[in-house]
Chain A
Amino acid sequence: SQTIHQWPATLVQPVGSPLSLECTVEGTSNPNLYWYRQAAGRGLQLLFYSVGIGQISSEVPQNLSASRPQDRQFILSSKKLLLSDSGFYLCAWSRGGNYGYTFGSGTRLTVV
């Protein structure tokens, strides 16, 4: 069966510090991968998606970047965090086509 792992669960970082959030998927190959951000009490905002190794599409201009160094690994990064980067970050994978997404457990990022 397929599983998705996302870590860390919570993170408190100072303004201006770097960020690296990692997401890995097991039990499938060539998944579509996604990074979402969710502000408290708000909906889901798509940040990045990837349909293959090294292929990254950005949905919104921002202080963050994403990379996919391996087929089942998706990394969200920042060189210098801003206060506005605080939020709940979710990684997800899908097969594409008429299939839903499976989400990770999320990372609560607080920038102080």
Chain B
Amino acid sequence: GESVGLHLPTLSVQEGDNSIINCAYSNSASDYFIWYKQESGKGPQFIIDIRSNMDKRQGQRVTVLLNKTVKHLSLQIAATQPGDSAVYFCAERPDSNYQLIWGAGTKLIIKP
């Protein structure tokens, strides 16, 4: 379900290093997953998605990995830059459901 009342966990990464943000999803019937990036004061923006018939998908500097056995989703950001500082949300869509189920979010901080 949605962890809307919890403070966001934080991940600090050195600029230039790779970042890995993890997400445990809740519904084994979910067949579509998305990562969003939310910068301060703005709405979340789509980064990358993956369907359950895949275990890996790559975008520009980002890779999403899906492990359905343990219901785990991760977002890897290569060569992290200051502009990557944001809160990252994972979301899942259970089959035949209109709404996305959102993860709690992870705040990514880039150290210079």
Contact = CB atoms under 8 A, between A and B. Distances in A.
Contacts of B100: 100-101
A103 B44 contact: yes
Given A44-B89, A104-B43, A98 B5 contact: no
A13 to B, nearest CB: 19
Given A39-B4, A44-B89, 4 more contacts: A6-B43, A45-B4, A46-B102, A49-B98
Interface of A: 6, 32, 34, 38-39, 41-46, 49, 51, 90, 92, 96, 98, 100-106, 108
Contacts, number: 66
Given A44-B4, A45-B2, A46-B99, A98 B93 contact: yes
Nearest to A9: B41
B42 interface: yes
9 contacts: A32-B98, A42-B4, A42-B105, A43-B4, A44-B44, A44-B102, A45-B4, A105-B43, A108-B41
Contact of A106 (B6, B43, B98): B43
